[in-house]
Amino acid sequence: MGSTISDRTYSVYILRNPLGANYIGLTSDVETRVAQHNTGKSKWTAKRGPWNLIWVKSNLSLSEARQLENLLKRQKGGIGFYRLTGLEPPLFGGSSGS
Protein backbone atom coordinates (compact mmCIF):
# COMPACT_ATOMS: atom_id res chain seq x y z
CA MET A 1 0.00 0.00 0.00
CA GLY A 2 1.43 3.42 -0.95
CA SER A 3 1.55 6.35 1.44
CA THR A 4 -0.89 9.19 1.11
CA ILE A 5 -0.17 12.86 1.74
CA SER A 6 -1.75 12.60 5.19
CA ASP A 7 0.51 9.62 6.08
CA ARG A 8 3.68 11.43 5.11
CA THR A 9 5.73 13.49 7.51
CA TYR A 10 7.50 16.64 6.47
CA SER A 11 10.55 18.59 7.51
CA VAL A 12 11.33 22.28 7.44
CA TYR A 13 14.99 22.86 6.69
CA ILE A 14 17.46 25.72 6.47
CA LEU A 15 20.44 25.79 4.15
CA ARG A 16 23.33 28.25 4.27
CA ASN A 17 25.84 29.03 1.53
CA PRO A 18 29.45 30.23 1.97
CA LEU A 19 28.33 33.87 1.68
CA GLY A 20 25.99 33.43 4.66
CA ALA A 21 22.73 33.47 2.71
CA ASN A 22 19.99 31.23 4.09
CA TYR A 23 17.36 29.25 2.24
CA ILE A 24 14.26 27.96 4.05
CA GLY A 25 12.22 25.14 2.59
CA LEU A 26 10.03 22.15 3.35
CA THR A 27 10.14 18.62 2.04
CA SER A 28 9.30 15.02 2.80
CA ASP A 29 12.88 13.96 1.92
CA VAL A 30 15.58 16.32 3.21
CA GLU A 31 18.57 14.42 1.81
CA THR A 32 17.16 14.35 -1.74
CA ARG A 33 16.06 17.98 -1.57
CA VAL A 34 19.47 19.23 -0.41
CA ALA A 35 21.07 17.30 -3.28
CA GLN A 36 18.64 18.99 -5.70
CA HIS A 37 19.66 22.41 -4.37
CA ASN A 38 23.33 21.57 -4.86
CA THR A 39 22.89 20.20 -8.39
CA GLY A 40 20.99 23.17 -9.82
CA LYS A 41 17.49 21.66 -9.84
CA SER A 42 16.11 24.51 -7.74
CA LYS A 43 16.03 27.84 -9.57
CA TRP A 44 16.74 30.24 -6.69
CA THR A 45 19.59 28.19 -5.22
CA ALA A 46 21.15 27.02 -8.50
CA LYS A 47 23.79 29.75 -8.80
CA ARG A 48 24.14 30.57 -5.10
CA GLY A 49 25.59 27.31 -3.70
CA PRO A 50 27.10 25.14 -2.50
CA TRP A 51 24.53 24.77 0.27
CA ASN A 52 25.00 23.22 3.69
CA LEU A 53 22.14 21.94 5.79
CA ILE A 54 22.27 23.84 9.10
CA TRP A 55 18.86 23.19 10.71
CA VAL A 56 15.97 20.72 10.41
CA LYS A 57 12.65 20.30 12.21
CA SER A 58 11.17 16.92 11.30
CA ASN A 59 8.06 14.77 11.80
CA LEU A 60 5.59 17.54 10.97
CA SER A 61 2.28 17.31 9.17
CA LEU A 62 2.11 19.22 5.89
CA SER A 63 0.04 21.93 7.59
CA GLU A 64 2.51 22.26 10.48
CA ALA A 65 5.46 22.36 8.08
CA ARG A 66 3.88 25.09 5.95
CA GLN A 67 3.08 27.16 9.03
CA LEU A 68 6.64 26.86 10.37
CA GLU A 69 8.20 27.56 6.97
CA ASN A 70 6.09 30.70 6.57
CA LEU A 71 6.83 31.84 10.13
CA LEU A 72 10.57 31.50 9.57
CA LYS A 73 10.39 33.27 6.20
CA ARG A 74 8.44 36.17 7.75
CA GLN A 75 11.37 36.76 10.12
CA LYS A 76 13.49 37.85 7.12
CA GLY A 77 16.66 36.60 8.81
CA GLY A 78 16.16 38.92 11.78
CA ILE A 79 16.44 38.24 15.48
CA GLY A 80 13.17 36.27 15.50
CA PHE A 81 14.64 33.84 12.96
CA TYR A 82 17.61 33.13 15.22
CA ARG A 83 15.43 32.98 18.35
CA LEU A 84 13.06 30.44 16.74
CA THR A 85 15.81 28.20 15.36
CA GLY A 86 18.51 28.60 18.00
CA LEU A 87 21.02 29.27 15.21
CA GLU A 88 23.79 31.81 15.47
CA PRO A 89 23.89 34.62 12.90
CA PRO A 90 26.76 34.32 10.40
CA LEU A 91 29.86 36.35 11.30
CA PHE A 92 29.58 38.22 8.00
CA GLY A 93 26.69 39.95 6.24
CA GLY A 94 24.42 37.09 5.27
CA SER A 95 20.80 37.39 4.23
CA SER A 96 17.76 35.20 4.13
CA GLY A 97 16.64 33.82 0.79
CA SER A 98 13.42 32.04 0.01
Domain 10-85 has CATH 3.40.1440: yes
> How large is the average pLDDT for residues 1-12?
75
Q: Which residues contact 36 (CB under 8 A, 6 or more apart)?
A: 42
Instruction: Give the pTM.
Output: 0.84
Strand pairing category for 10-16 and 22-27: antiparallel
- Say whether pLDDT at 16 is over 80: yes
